[in-house]
Amino acid sequence: MKRILHKLFLGKAEYNTPQKISAYRAYQTNLVKIWNNEKHHDVGFEKLLRLLLVGIQPIFPGIHFRNIVGRYGVTKRNVAIEFYVLFKTMLPLFFLFSGLYRYRITVAVSSYLLIETIVYVASLIFVSDIFVKPRSYRRNILMLFLNYMEIALSFAVVYAGLHLLGNQPGSVADYIYFSIVTSTTIGFGDFHPVSSLGKMIVCTQAIVVVAFIVLFLNFFGSKVEALHQEE
């Protein structure tokens, strides 16, 4: 059984090459590259935004997790990151169906991890030049889908925990439904925010969804261009 799981998740042993530099070292290198305009000639607000997106990484757990698991090789690091993303996607569901969403600390944890994912998505758009070439484009699509679901479910925790919706949602499924409908930009109107805070959060979610659309269009556009050049 152990051999089967190893083959399933890690593949051939020779693929698990040592990590060249630690996540912390890569973080410092990327900051210097942006500051010195080594890969992109940005100035003003664009450069400030790029520095911000990279600079705030240490306040989130992702970079520390990558640094720890990176010691065991590139393949094991990638698989561990996939499980980390899956964990972040499933955690809001656990909060919702266990009733823990009623506690403010739970809403705070969901919001904290949600912000990390939003920063990551924004980084893929604005600082994509510092990322290494992806191992698999199909893997990237899968990870982005999990990020998308995590964002929708985390917003559902916020709506439920802060009681931001009118028309008296009858269950946590109503909050999930409203968040996913908002994430698809459909907006049926059967539920709606009842406070200024709720309206601001809905607007924030809508903006994040637009960023996702831009990201996907950019991703598929660059992929098609790369395939065209190869042909």
Closest CA to 76 of 132, 24, 10, 135: 10
Closest CA to 195 of 174, 171, 170, 166: 166
Tokens 């969901």 map to which residue?
110
Distance CA(148)–CA(87), nearest Å, equals 14
pLDDT digits (tens), the chain, 231 positions? 767 766 666 677 666 787 888 899 999 999 999 999 888 888 899 999 999 999 999 999 999 999 999 888 888 888 899 999 999 999 999 999 999 999 999 999 999 999 999 998 888 888 877 776 666 677 777 888 899 999 999 999 999 999 999 877 888 999 999 999 998 878 787 888 988 999 999 999 998 888 887 777 666 656 555 554 554
How does DSSP classify residue 167?
S
Amino acid at 65: F
Distance CA(183)–CA(59), nearest Å, equals 26
Report the pLDDT value the prediction gives residue 43, as an integer from 0 to 100. 87
Tokens 């042993």 map to which residue?
13
Directed axis angle between helix 104-126 and helix 44-55, to 10°?
130
Tokens 């990176």 map to which residue?
70
CB count, 10 Å around CB of 208? 19
Q: Are 193 and 165 in contact (CB under 8 A)?
A: yes
Q: Which CATH architecture has domain 73-230?
A: Orthogonal Bundle (1.10)
Distance CA(10)–CA(16), nearest Å, equals 8
Residues 6+ apart with CB under 8 A from 42: 34, 50
Three-state SS for 193? Answer: strand
Structure token digits, residue 178 = 């409203």
- DSSP H helices, 56-171, are 61-69, 74-98, 104-126, 137-161
- For the chain, the structural domain boundaries read 73-230
For the chain, how are helix, strand and coil distributed in percent, rounded to 5?
75, 0, 20
Distance CA(52)–CA(224), nearest Å, equals 30
Structure token digits, residue 156 = 């559902």
Distance CA(140)–CA(109), nearest Å, equals 25
Report the pLDDT value the prediction gives residue 231, as an integer from 0 to 100. 47
Distance CA(135)–CA(143), nearest Å, equals 12
